[in-house]
Chains A and B, each alone.
Chain A
């Protein structure tokens, strides 16, 4: 009762100014126009939903390339046999019911000069502002002698769905004492701790079903995210099962024989029963083709508004963009989507966007009851670059802390439930 009264008072007096999620904030109240969002993943779904929430006067079209979205986060649990693929798959029904015009009709071209998006169906949509969150594509030409169809034999499983299941099934069908190779690329790539969480959860599966099997990480770099914490976890939970071979020890991939399941590096040859080949990456093709990457592979943006440095009225968020110091994570993409929505609503109302804090936390599971994390706080600086704030962030405490590891595993599950609820939940 008291609480209700307090809440009503808060709404009456200040709730609108404070921008309660259930109300439109006054700075945005005048906003109208049409925003087209390309890509219905972590960045795009988040931006579309937030726009409807904070600025109901803006009409939002979300272009997606499939009727359902399968999350990469927690796909390593599917590979490790801990969750079903249906647990990480979501429909766009909630977005539709909130007034987002969701169309399963991918963008084939974006013309910033004409402020127009061309769809696969041939339809053309004009926009006041576009948000581009298409994620990544693979640079097959950066690997020796292979093309995209190599993934049918050597799955990347770096976009979730059929590839996730293919890798899981190959691991489950592996002979006793077999070897899995994980070959991650050099930086930058989607989800820096992802390959090592994957190694962990594959080892977790193998330790129960194929305990003499091995996991070999043939890496495109010498160091990786949360390395000390991962390696301590492997030592404690899966002694002798996971080996990390840094770039300096193999010299890079020279030849890939998909049929023989063999990769030759400059210094050594590795044969395996399963090879998870994760190619080098770039911003997704729509961003490249629209000229949003300039002469590079990723989209440069303004850290306050996420507006492209290459095209006016086009905002890029998520993995496709270089967002200052923020990592390519689903948490980052979702946060950027929300903050970008506020910025666009403010701009469409003729005001200047506000400079807030953006946060990221990446949890990784080393085992179902063993979690670790890395976190950061970011703010756009005087050059509108989202810089990591000094004295914040960092990884979980090293050392023997079983309760902390259990807690962080619980928080990882809480995080996943929360972010998917926020993006896709009713």
Chain B
């Protein structure tokens, strides 16, 4: 399930890169590269998503949990201080990509 989604995202990310590299109009067909979006997330959530003080860790969390949280913030079904203000434009593909990205970073050795 998770593997399937991850593979789908990779194809999509590579596809978007190729579309642009071959001189497409610049419009990304599906989703936005999570490598770029994640660079905003880590400004609060810590380098590599390790968390910071009261701000939760993302690295190594199950992708399904991260997806559910982001979807809830976006749709207004999950309460937040700020996340609802930052997730509005995310598509389901974007959310899957971000969730897989942070999930794949894993936890540091304890």
Contact = CB atoms under 8 A, between A and B. Distances in A.
A413 B6 contact: no
Interface in B18-56: 20-21, 23, 26-28, 32-48, 52-55
Query: Which of the four size classes fits the interface of chain A?
Result: 35 or more
Interface in A353-382: 353-361, 373, 375, 377, 379, 382
Interface residues of B, number: 51
B27 to A, nearest CB: 8
A352 B23 contact: yes
Contacts of B14: 17
B104 to A, nearest CB: 4
Contacts of B107: 3
A413 B54 contact: yes
A417 B104 CA distance: 23
Interface of A: 3-4, 6-7, 10-11, 13-15, 17-22, 25, 27, 50, 304, 331, 334-335, 338-339, 342, 351-361, 373, 375, 377, 379, 382, 384, 389, 391-394, 396, 404, 407-408, 410-411, 413-415, 417-419, 421-422, 425
A411 B54 contact: yes
B20 to A, nearest CB: 4
A392 B89 CA distance: 7
B85 interface: yes
A272 B94 CA distance: 53
A357 B21 CA distance: 19
B53 A413 contact: yes
A339 B40 CA distance: 9
A285 to B, nearest CB: 28
Given A354-B28, A411-B81, A20 B105 contact: yes
Contacts, number: 179
Given A20-B104, A359-B41, 5 more contacts: A4-B106, A10-B6, A373-B82, A392-B87, A418-B44
A421 B52 contact: yes
Contact of A414 (B47, B53, B101): B53
Contacts of B45: 418
Given A21-B105, A339-B39, A407-B81, A352 B20 contact: yes
Contact of A391 (B10, B26, B88): B88
Given A21-B47, A25-B35, A425-B47, A392 B104 contact: no
Tell me which of B14, B32, B33, B34 has the highest count of chain A C-beta atoms within 10 A of its own C-beta: B33
A410 B51 CA distance: 13
Q: Which of B27, B54, B87 has the most CB of A within 10 A?
A: B54
A6 B106 contact: yes
A414 B52 contact: yes
B82 A361 contact: yes
A342 B100 CA distance: 19
B86 interface: yes
A21 B41 CA distance: 13
B89 A407 contact: no
A14 B6 contact: yes
